[in-house]
Amino acid sequence: MMITTAGQSSFQVTISPKLHGIYESTRAKVKYINGAMIQIEGVEIEFREGYSTSLGRMKIISAEEYERASSYHLREWILFALFYSIPTLIPFLLWQATKAASYSISLKKRVI
């Protein structure tokens, strides 16, 4: 693949780990030719080398740990909704009962 001078290219790679645990990453070594150099037969081309940045220590988690960390936690959300609805519904139902009682009293007063 040829990248022109001042050009840019990006790549996406997906890696599936075979082991899990702590991993110390290393830097990638990249060899390239200066864009100004032209390949001529019989002339040895000088490659330049560059290094990527290191990611440092990474923790690779197992598939089970990933599922546990990223699941929807359905049971927890159902319990949260249940426990949250109780203190919300009780005052609402009391307010509805009070409103209905006061409305019926005001209707009786209007009739008289």
Render pLDDT for 82-107 as a digit per residue (tens, 0 to 9).
999 999 999 999 999 999 988 887 77
Terminal alpha carbon distance of the chain: 94
The answer to pTM > 0.75 is no
pLDDT tens digits for range 28-65: 888 877 655 555 666 667 788 888 888 888 898 988 88
**Pair 3, 11: CB distance under 8 Å:** no
What is the CB neighbour count within 10 angstroms for residue 61?
A: 15
**pLDDT (mean) for 11-31:** 84
Domain assignments of the chain as residue spans, ordered by start = 19-71, 73-112
Structure tokens, 42 = 């019989």
Query: What is the pLDDT, as a whole number, of residue 1?
Result: 62
Query: What is the pLDDT, as a whole number, of residue 41?
Result: 64
Max mean pLDDT among 27-31, 65-69, 74-78, 93-97 falls in 93-97
Question: How far is residue 2 from each of residues 12, 65, 109, measured CA to CA in Å?
Answer: 17, 41, 90
How many CA within 13 A on the CB side of residue 68? Answer: 5
